[in-house]
Amino acid sequence: MGEYIVSARKYRPMTFDSVVGQAALTATLKNAVKSGKLAHAYLFCGPRGVGKTTCARIFAKAINCMNPTTEGEACGECESCKAFAEGRSYNIFELDAASNNSVEHIKSLMEQTRIPPQVGKYKVFIIDEVHMLSQAAFNAFLKTLEEPPAHVVFILATTEKHKILPTILSRCQIYDFERMSVENTINHLKYVAEKEGITYEEEALALIAEKADGGMRDALSIFDQTASFCQGNITYAKVIEDLNELDTDNYFKFVDYALANKVSECMVLLNAIIEKGFDGGNLINGLASHVRNVLMAKDAQTLKLLEVSEKQREKYSAQAKACPTQFLYKALKLMNQCDLSYRQSSNKRLLVELTLIQVAQITQPEDADSAGRSPKQLKTLFKLLDFTRTKVAQQVAAPVSHASVSHVSAEASPSQTAASGSEAVSDKLSAGVPRLKLSSLGMTFQSLQRKDAVAAKKEAEETNKDENEQFTQEFLDLQWLSMCNRMPQKMVGLASRMKNMQPRITTFPDIEVLVDNQILLDQVNEIKGRIRVTLAKALHNGNVSISLRLAEAEEISRRKTKKEVYDELMQQKEVRAFVESLGLELV
């Protein structure tokens, strides 16, 4: 068995024509060789693994060739070409500036430039990673770089052009190398696979090319790794397993579930992905990239921006036809916000779950029913209350005389006064303030109130009449608290007070709610119909009825807090032993 050589070295280009993905640049270098118009210094810059050092070696070999071809390539037969191929050429020097970056190293290099070449025309100095030179070394290099001996050519290579001094840049011809496109990388991997006798799936090579991120050397290294794992048959499934990459089909599923408002399916798929060891932040980034690709696939002009295989491009185009543009815009915005907040979040999984839930609800209608899983279903539930509150606030803000308010009967008891106070004020307000008529509409505020009441009553009567499922007191308590938690932000105060109420089943399916004061009873009565609608949906029973009653003094009991329930449970020896053994704490 012969010595194994990695593909990145074994298939390193030896001529300009075999360089992949840099056609314009290699054509310029070949023309310089043919014409003999050579600069004294070149700067090759670009990403890693795109052929900077390779082109520097080919160029150095070509300008020293004794019999170059008409195309500007080295002949490969003369003494200079053979010496270079066998690694014994004294005309081509390679210096690693990462480890030779001091002034002394540069001075030693300057001494070698004085000696003319023994074979060939030029002494070529290839300085790799030139940006690693120190400030003093750059300054020592300046004069020689500007006016080197006639037989010297410098070729500098770097991945970080911005770190090189402007005085160095101004003395060089600058060549910017491009990133390898996915298509070029796939074609070269096919060539290598055929040479090595390795079978492959094009989807697998496309995944390797995407993973390489524009670097051919990286692509060949990954190719060797996967070829060893797959034992000569590179398949998409094996490449995903070997590289521990997330299958792109998961992203397509997420988008399909989101379009269908399938929140549960999104959560199940997310859990399966996290259980395989994938990070939630990487998932969001990958999904954002996928949505961006779907957005690009909606227009034929931007479809070419997708650096994917032809088969993947077809899948993106098919999904793009089913995705509204506004959905893609909003999804990208939500995932970008998640990415910005991910690192600072103390509960990262919850942040990812909330983001996916929001994405899955983008296309959901405002009043769509989703079995209690969507916060949108209560958006219109309390519209009547908001409208009523606005009118009451406007009336109270109007000036009221003390005499008009003090007209309440002095003979009434304190409880009667409290119960009827709001009605008395409302009557006096109505008598003291002129009514505003909406003449253009042909109606008054009172008619609007009546219509709202009729609409509320109609909605309560039309809610899931056919459902008649059984429910327990525990389930009723749970749905009551859930309803209070979903009430609009404007009603947070009322919702907080309603949490302390105690709904109970009297005669199934009749529900009685005890209220501890008359003012709160009046407020809840205003939205009684909407409460019944919500509970009927949540309990899956259209025959539910709600009755509100002012509680007697002995019936009022405060709902226990979590801390109080916890303290009661800790009184039991078995519970206390269990909690202490696991080191649990109440949060």
Distance CA 44, CA 120 (A): 23
pLDDT in tens, 349-405: 999 999 999 999 998 876 544 444 444 444 443 444 444 445 544 544 444 444 443
Q: Are 295 and 320 in contact (CB under 8 A)?
A: yes
User: Which residue's structure tokens are 């080197």?
Assistant: 148
Q: pLDDT band at 2, cuts 50/70/90?
A: low
Instruction: Spell out the domains of the chain, with CATH numbers in brackets.
Output: 7-176 (3.40.50.300), 182-243 (1.10.8.60), 248-364 (1.20.272.10), 374-405+415-555 (no CATH), 557-587 (no CATH)
- Token pair of 538, please? 């949540």
Query: Measured between alpha carbons, how far is residue 200 from residues 12, 61, 236 in Å?
Result: 21, 35, 9
Mean of pLDDT values over 137-151: 86
CA-closest candidate to residue 308, choices 202, 227, 236: 202
Instruction: State the virtual CA torsion across 201, 203, 204, 208 in degrees, nearest 10.
Output: 140
Its sign, for the CA torsion 472, 473, 476, 481, is negative
pLDDT given at position 74: 87
Distance CA 164, CA 495 (A): 64
Distance CA 406, CA 425 (A): 9
User: At 423, which amino acid appears?
Assistant: E
Cα 584 versus chain centre, distance: 34
Q: pLDDT band at 472, cuts 50/70/90?
A: confident
458 pLDDT above the threshold of 80 = no
Distance CA 203, CA 213 (A): 16
Query: Worst-scoring range by mean pLDDT, 212-216, 275-279, 305-309, 391-395?
Result: 391-395
Query: Worst-scoring range by mean pLDDT, 88-102, 362-376, 412-426?
Result: 412-426
3-state secondary structure of 100: coil
124 phi, psi to nearest 5 deg: -110, 125
345 phi, psi to nearest 5 deg: -75, 140
DSSP element (H, E) containing 124: strand 123-128
34 pLDDT above the threshold of 60 = yes
Q: pLDDT band at 520, cuts 50/70/90?
A: confident
Query: Measured between alpha carbons, how far is residue 485 from residues 84, 293, 359, 525 in Å?
Result: 78, 38, 22, 19
Its sign, for the CA torsion 516, 518, 519, 521, is positive
CA-closest candidate to residue 256, choices 301, 169, 320: 320
- Token pair of 28, please? 């310029």
- Token pair of 285, please? 């980034």
255 pLDDT above the threshold of 90 = yes
